[in-house]
């Protein structure tokens, strides 16, 4: 596949964009990456995602695919000759999709809220909810991995990509709030999985450096305090 046939519109620091990058990397797909500021709402973004008007957008042969979970599944389906990302068993696939939805709809949104709130009472409540969620994900890891290194078994799979893509911002939140959310005493399997995931060569080439994310977070918070994003 030529690079001109596959384009990814996104932003380097966006975990949802990183998901698409990880899936493309695992499948060894050559692609063009257009690093875009989503708040500028460029013409290309409006052309290929007029409904949600957000990144990431995968463009394959001038056909757009939007929403990160859908993009990862599309990559797995469209390039079936590479390593499988989703489980082959129907129930395991359903289970992976269930937990992916839980991460995106219930758990990860709280990470961003925690990072931005300054009220201690709210932080305490959010930390409790996030910790409870990690306990659930610890159990999910045990059930999905079946004793193997990753949610996907021996190799990085769908849930590894979904949860792994947010580890950088989770770490930034821990530093900003001065709390350890991913605690090896409470979630030992998940903590070891996170270290293993981040040490993988394919992942290291994609996920942003923590220092870069911290610097970006400072700029975002300053922008919000100045009245941005209204």
> What is the pLDDT, as a whole number, of residue 18?
98
- Reported as a pLDDT band with limits 50, 70 and 90, residue 1 is very low
Average pLDDT in the chain: 93
| Alpha helices per DSSP H over 146-187 | 158-164, 167-177
What pLDDT is recorded for position 3?
45
b/e map 60-89, b = 16+ CB within 10 Å: beeebbbbbbebbbbbbebbeeeeebbbee
DSSP letter, residue 39:
G
Residues 90-146 pLDDT 10s = 999 999 999 999 999 999 999 999 999 999 999 999 999 999 999 999 999 999 999
C-alpha distances (whole Å) from 97 to each of 104, 111, 140, 144, 160 are: 11, 20, 12, 11, 12
In this model, does residue 2 exceed pLDDT 90?
no
User: pLDDT value at position 40?
Assistant: 59
Which residues of the chain form CATH 3.40.30.10?
Answer: 3-78
pLDDT per residue as tens digits for the range 49-78: 999 989 999 999 999 999 999 999 999 999
Q: What is the pLDDT of residue 226?
A: 82
Place of tokens 């903590």: 191
CATH number listed for the domain at residues 3-78: 3.40.30.10
| Fold (CATH) for 90-215 | Glutathione S-transferase Yfyf (Class Pi); Chain A, domain 2 (1.20.1050)
Give 149-193 pLDDT, tens digit per residue: 999 999 999 999 999 999 999 999 999 999 999 999 999 999 999
With tokens 């290291």, the residue in question is 204
Where does CATH 1.20.1050.10 sit in the chain? Answer: 90-215
Give whole-number Cα distances, 53 to 46, 144, 156, in Å. Answer: 6, 34, 30
């Amino acid at each position: 596949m030529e690079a001109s046939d596959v384009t990814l519109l996104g932003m380097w620091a966006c975990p949802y964009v990183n998901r698409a990058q990880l899936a493309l990397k695992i499948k060894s797909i050559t692609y063009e990456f257009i690093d875009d500021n989503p708040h500028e709402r460029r013409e290309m973004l409006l052309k290929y995602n007029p409904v949600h008007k957000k990144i990431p957008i995968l463009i394959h042969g001038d056909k757009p695919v939007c929403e990160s979970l859908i993009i990862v599944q599309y990559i797995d389906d469209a390039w079936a000759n590479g390593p499988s990302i989703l489980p082959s068993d129907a129930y395991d696939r359903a289970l992976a999709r269930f937990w992916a939805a839980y991460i995106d709809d219930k758990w990860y949104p709280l990470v961003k809220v925690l990072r931005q709130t300054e009220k201690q009472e709210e932080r305490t409540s959010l930390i409790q909810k996030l910790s409870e969620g990690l306990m659930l994900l610890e159990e999910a890891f045990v059930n999905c991995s079946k004793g193997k290194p990753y949610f996907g078994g021996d190799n990085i799979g769908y849930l590894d990509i979904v949860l792994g893509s947010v580890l950088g911002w989770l770490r930034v939140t821990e530093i900003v709030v001065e709390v350890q959310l991913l605690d090896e005493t409470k979630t030992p399997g998940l903590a070891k999985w996170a270290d293993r995931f981040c040490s993988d060569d394919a992942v290291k080439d994609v996920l942003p450096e923590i220092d870069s994310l911290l610097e970006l977070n400072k700029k975002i918070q300053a922008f919000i305090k100045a009245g941005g994003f209204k």
